[in-house]
Amino acid sequence: MNEVLKKPVFWWYSLLLAAILLIFLLGYSASPLSITLIFLALIFLPGFLLSQIGQTFYQADRLGNLVSSFASGFIYNIFLGLLALVFHLTLKQLIGLNLLIIFILFIVALILDLRREQPSLPRFPINYRFLLLYLALFFYLAVILMTVIQTGGNFNGDPLYHLATMRKAVAGQPLSLDNLAYLSQQYHPAYIFSVWHILLAETAQIARVNIFTLWQQIPIALTILVFLVWYWLFLKLYRHQFLASVGLFFVAAYIYWQNGYLFTRLAVPDTLNTYLWLPLCFALAIKYIFDPKTTGKHLAVLTFAVGVMTVVHQTQWLYYLLVVGLLLIIYAIFKYRDPDFKPTLEKILLALLGNLIIAIPVFLIIQLKGGTLTEHLSIFQTLEPVLRNDRFVKWDIFLKLAYILLPLVLLFSRKNKALLFILALFLVGPLIHNLPGVKEWAIHHLSHVFIKRMYANLGWAPAVLALIFGFILLLIDKSLSKMKKKIRYLIDSLLGLIFLAAIILEASRETISILGDNLLGQKTFAWLNHHYLWLLPLVLILTIIIFFGQRSNQKVGDFFCLDEPKEVLGATLILLIMVFFVITMGLGHLKLNFVREMANARLFHQAPDPTHEVINFNKFGGQATIDFINHNLPPKAVFDSTDANYVLATLADIKMASYTFESEPTKKYAKIYDPEISQAERMALIKDGRIEYILWLYLTHGAQSPFDNYPANFQRIYSSNTAAIYQVINYE
C-alpha cells in the first residue's frame, strides 16, 4: 500500500476524483457554471478513462490527447444512448448505468496505470514566447463566451422540435425509437435515433434543471468545445502554433459575426455537427492520415467518430465522405512521386471507408423503421432543382476572398501535405454545383438541404485567410528579425501605440468599425462580384507559374515554408491590429454583453427558467391545460390543435399528428377546423393522422367549435376560459 501511495498516478486519480465530487456538489446550485461543468464531466471523464485503458492517446500531442478524450467521451455517450434505445431503458436507469460504468472504468484505469511504469498523463507546458498572443486570444474568446452566457440558447424554429424530443426523454417512459418520435406514424431520418437529445436530457436530470433551462445554458459548454476543436484542427492543418492562433481568431469572429447567433444554436444537431463534430472528424482524419506515428487504435477512434454523425445528423456525414474522397483524388494527382505515397493513400482510403461498418447498419435500421428512407426519397424526387446560395455573388466577402486566394494553398502543400485537405474542402461545393446533372441528382436523392447548406458547412473561409495572411505576417517577422534590437523595440513600441489608439478610437467614436465598413463593406462586396472573373484566373495562373518554379528552384520552394515567428512580439501586435480591424465590423452586442457579465456575473448565479419567456401559455389555456394533459391523458397520445402545435409537445409527453410551423400551426390537417367541410371529410383527415385528441383554442377560432355538433365522434373532456380538449371516440 505504501508503494501505491508513493506513485504520482495515485494522487493524479485522487485529484480527479475530488474534482468529480466537487462538480456534482456544484450541481445543486443549478448555475450556468455547474451545468457546464456537469456536461463536460459527462463527456471528458469516460473519454479520458477509455483513452487511458485503450492507450489511444497520441505521442507528443498533449492538446490532441485532450481532444481525443472529448471524442472518446462523446462516442461513449452516443453509444450508451443507442444501448438505452435497444433495451428500452428509462432515463433514470440510463443515468444509473452510466455512473456505474464510469466507476468501473475509473477503477480499471487506475489499476492499469498503477501497473504501468510511465503512465501517459496529459501535461500542458506553456510556450512563453507566445504568451501575449495566447492572452489576447484568451481574452477575445472569453468575451465571446460572455455573450453566449448573457444571451443563452436560441429557441426559435427547430429548437422547439428538439425540446419536444427531450420532453419525451425526461417523462419517465422507456426510451425507444417510437417513444421519442415527434410524429405518431412517421420518422425523420436525420433524428430517428435522438441520442443527442438523450444526452441533453441526461444532463438536465443530473443538473436538476428543466429542459428549457438546459437548452438555454448548454451553448456555454459547446462554445468552449468549439474553440478547443478548431484550435487543434488548425494546429494539425498548419503544424504551426502562430498560424493556429491566427486561424482561431478568424474562425471565432466568423462564427460569432454580429450577435453570436450560431453559438446560441449549437445544441441543434445540424449546427452541432457543422461547427463542432464535423471539424473534429476532419481533425482526427488529418492527424491519422498525415502523422506516421498513428496506429489502428487512432483509426478506430476516427471510425466511430465519423459513424456518430450518422445518428446525430447524416448531412455532415455525406460532406465528410465527399471531402475525404476528393482528398484521395487530389493526393493521388499531386503526391504520387512521394516515397510515402502508398501508405498515406491507404490511410486516406481507410479514413474514407472505415466508418461504413457503422453507417450501413444505421441506414438499414432507418429504412426498416417504416420505410423511412424510401419515403423521404420519394419526397425528394418531387423537388425542383432550384436553390439559393450557390452563386458566387451571394457569398459573404470573406468566402469570396477565400475562393479567390484558394489556388495559393497549393504552393504551401509542397512542404505540408495536410494543406491539400483545404483544396478538397473548398472544391466539393463548386464541383457538385457545376458538374452537369450532379446537383439535380443530389437534390433528388440526398435532399435540397444537402445542397442548400453545403457552402455553410464546407465554406471555411478562415482556413484559407488565416494561412495567407498568417504567411504575410511571417514574412514581416523575417524582416523584423533581421533588424537591430533598438530598431525592433522602436517598431514594437509604435505597433503597440497603434493598437492602443485603435482601441481608444473604437471605444470613443467607433472609428475603426466605420473604416472597416468602408473598406470591406458593400463597395468591396460589389467590386469583388464585378471583378472575380479575372481575379481568380489571375491568381490561378500565378500559382501555376510558382508551382512549377518550386520544382526547379529550391529557393522558391523554401520561400513558402511555414516556420514559427522569431520576433514574436511584432508579429503578434500586427496580428492583433489586423484582427481588431476585422472583428470590429461584426462586434454587434459584444461590448454590451461583456459589460453585463462583468456587472451581474450570471455564470455563477442560479440559471433562470426561460419557459414562460419562450412560450405564451395563454394561447392554450395556461398551465392548467398542460397539467390536465400530463395527469389525465395517456403518454404519447396523438394531438392536433388550432394554434398550439408548435409548442404543445415541449410541455407534455404527447405526439403530434404533423410537423407544424408557427405561421401555419396545422398545415397538414388545417381543414378539420373548417366548419364548411363535411363531417365525413373531417373524419377522414382525423383518421389519416390517427388523431386521438384535439385542442381547440377560443382565442383563435371562438368558443363555438365544430366538434360540439358531433357528440358521436367527439367528447369534450376539458374546458377552460380559453381552450377545450376533445377526445376522438369514433373515427366512422
Least confident of 42-51, 80-89, 113-122, 471-480: 113-122
Over 80: is that where the pLDDT of 209 sits? yes
Model confidence pLDDT, tens digit, residues 522-540:
777 777 777 777 888 899 9
Q: Between 325 and 661, where is the model more confident? A: 325
Boundaries of every domain in the chain: 1-125, 462-604, 615-728
pLDDT band (50, 70, 90) for residue 211: very high
Q: In this predicted structure, what is the pLDDT of residue 663?
A: 47
Q: In this predicted structure, what is the pLDDT of residue 224?
A: 96
Over 90: is that where the pLDDT of 261 sits? no
Over 60: is that where the pLDDT of 383 sits? no
pLDDT band (50, 70, 90) for residue 265: very high
CATH number given to 615-728? 3.40.50.12610
In angstroms, the CA 481 to CA 88 distance is: 65
Question: 65, 158, 182: which is closest to 120 by C-alpha?
Answer: 65
188-192, long-range: CB < 8 A, 24+ apart: 189/314, 189/366, 189/372, 189/373, 189/376, 190/269, 190/270, 190/313, 190/314, 190/315, 191/162, 191/165, 191/269, 191/313, 192/365, 192/366, 192/369, 192/372
Over 70: is that where the pLDDT of 178 sits? yes
Q: In this predicted structure, what is the pLDDT of residue 320?
A: 94
Over 70: is that where the pLDDT of 564 sits? yes
Model confidence pLDDT, tens digit, residues 91-138:
999 999 999 999 999 999 888 888 876 545 545 556 667 888 888 889
Model confidence pLDDT, tens digit, residues 12-40:
777 777 777 777 777 677 889 999 999 99
Q: List, in order, residues 6 or more apart from 388 with CB less than 8 Å away.
A: 394, 452
* Mean pLDDT (whole number) for 546-573: 83
Q: In this predicted structure, what is the pLDDT of residue 24?
A: 73
Least confident of 53-67, 140-154, 440-454: 440-454
Mean pLDDT of all residues in the chain?
84
Over 50: is that where the pLDDT of 389 sits? no
Q: In this predicted structure, what is the pLDDT of residue 393?
A: 59
In angstroms, the CA 105 to CA 428 distance is: 41
Q: C-alpha dihedral over 184, 190, 191, 193, to 10 degrees?
A: 100
C-alpha cell at 139: 481574452
Q: Are 613 and 210 in contact (CB under 8 A)?
A: no
Model confidence pLDDT, tens digit, residues 225-247:
999 999 999 999 999 889 999 99
**Sheet bearing 693-697, strands edge to edge:** 654-656, 637-641, 693-697, 723-728, 714-719
C-alpha cell at 496: 503597440
Q: Provide φ and ψ at 704, rounded to 5°.
A: -85, 115
Over 90: is that where the pLDDT of 520 sits? no
Q: Between 355 and 89, where is the model more confident? A: 89
